[in-house]
Amino acid sequence: MRFPCPAANMTIFINNNYMSLSKPLQTIKITAICCIFLLITACSAVRFVYNQGDTLVRWWIDDHIGLTAEQEILTRELLEQQFWWHRTEQLADVSKTLEQLRRQLKRPLSTDEVSQFTDDLKKFIYAIAKKTTPDAAKIFTTLQSNQIEAMQKRMQKGNEKFTKEWLPPTLEKQNKVRADKVIDRVEWLFGSINKEQEEKIRQHINSNPLDMTMVYQERLRRQSDLIKIVKTINQNKLNQQQAEDLLATYIKNFEYGTTKEQQEFGKRRNALGIQLSAFITQIMNDEQRKYASGRVETWALDVQELIKESSVLAAKRSALQNR
């Protein structure tokens, strides 16, 4: 199951796919995706989707692993707890971040400002990753060999799609694919752009190419590392704490890996994404910036409504507990 929303678009626009998550990491941090969803979705039904998030995530996990009846009950309980934590502990900070972004998008952004927003976004993701790691470990200790095989098959299917979509045979064609996707996302956020702006984006990407083969190798590295972890947990019958330790190390090394080559590439990819995002805001006109700011304002209002709903729900929960 895929969430039919442009969540990935905002993430990729801000950091050129820097923090796009692979399928296996989504299994670990799937709650993070649906929670961050409200930060970056463009649909008017953001509150509805967020309120149904635990169900959507459970369906996603089941589709990729094939949960047993016992695992489904456990997953349901854990997701309900995680979404309540996010609703009551994280939404206020999300609201502040959106309000700051709304104001900033009214003018060109510097690379420092884009970098700061990227750091803020990563803080949300990693806070949720840390919070959900014990629950992920609890589920991972219950996985069977056939479920691990199902994970691998889903990874392979995703890899085939990735290579077909992102890895044409020449660098020139790779740059074109990347530019086409970036332009789509720019128009999603800023509205229609003119031919001159489009050409400037293509020129910028051609002058600052991203090695998509290396992106693919990093994708494979993360998948391989995760499969090793779930197999180790399964074969050695590790307990929850041991599984948590392995997952914590995996998340720690997810962005930049462990080798010098991986770390240097990760930093370059990050820098390229930040430079591109800042450049795009600088070539937009006032009308386009106003359009983007207005979109973010709509999301911010939805978050405010979610916060209000959370207060009402908290009062109801408290009343039930005191009966």
Q: What is the DSSP string of 23-88?
A: HHHHHHSHHHHHHHHHHH--STTHHHHHHTHHHHHHHHHHHHH---HHHHHHHHHHHHHHHHHHHH
Q: Per residue in 261-278, is it b (16+ CB within 10 Å) or e — as a string?
A: ebeebbeebbbbbbbbbb
- Token pair, residue 298, equals 């709509």
Instruction: Reply yes or no on whether the pLDDT at 6 is more than 90.
Output: no
pLDDT on residue 50: 86
Residue 157 token pair = 């299917």
pLDDT value of position 52: 87
* Statement: residue 320 has pLDDT above 60: no
Per residue in 68-118, pLDDT (tens digit) is 999 999 999 999 999 999 999 999 999 999 999 999 999 999 999 999 999
Sequence letter at residue 301: L
Distance between CA 166 and CA 173 in Å, rounded? 9
Are 105 and 82 in contact by the 8 Å Cβ rule? The answer is: no
Token output for 128: 């949720």
pLDDT number for residue 190: 97
14 vs 276: CA distance, rounded Å: 8
pLDDT confidence tier of residue 311, bands split at 50, 70 and 90: confident
Q: In this predicted model, what pLDDT tens digit does every residue of 178-209 receive, in sequence order?
A: 999 999 999 999 999 999 999 999 999 999 99
pLDDT above 90 coverage of the chain, percent: 74
pLDDT at 16: 41
| Distant-in-sequence, close-in-space partners of 170: CB < 8 Å, separation ≥ 6 | none
Amino acid identity of residue 127, one-letter, is A
Per-residue pLDDT at 322: 58
User: What would the mean pLDDT of 289-299 be, rounded to a whole number?
Assistant: 94
DSSP secondary-structure letter at 20?
A: P
pTM over 0.85: no
Helix, coil or strand: residue 323: coil
Distance between CA 73 and CA 62 in Å, rounded?
12
Question: Residues 6 or more apart from 6 whose CB is under 8 A from it?
Answer: 40, 41, 42, 43, 185, 188
CB atoms within 10 A of CB 233: 22
State the greatest distance between any 2 C-alpha atoms of the chain, in Å, as a whole number. 68
pLDDT at 289 (0 to 100): 97
Yes or no: say if 185 and 268 are a contact pair by the CB < 8 Å rule: no
Nearest to 84 by CA among 311, 321, 322, 320: 311
Mean model confidence pLDDT for the chain: 86
Rg, C-alpha atoms of the chain: 20
Worst-scoring range by mean pLDDT, 22-36, 109-123, 245-259?
22-36
**pLDDT tens per residue across span 34-67:** 444 444 444 456 778 888 889 999 998 998 899 9
Question: Would the pLDDT of 223 be above 80?
Answer: yes
Q: CB count, 10 Å around CB of 195?
A: 7
The amino acid occupying position 225 is: D
Long-range contacts formed by 100-103: CB under 8 A, 24+ apart: 101/296, 102/293, 102/296, 102/297, 102/300, 103/293
For tokens 């993070």, name the residue.
32
How many Cα atoms sit within 13 Å of 258 on the Cβ side?
8
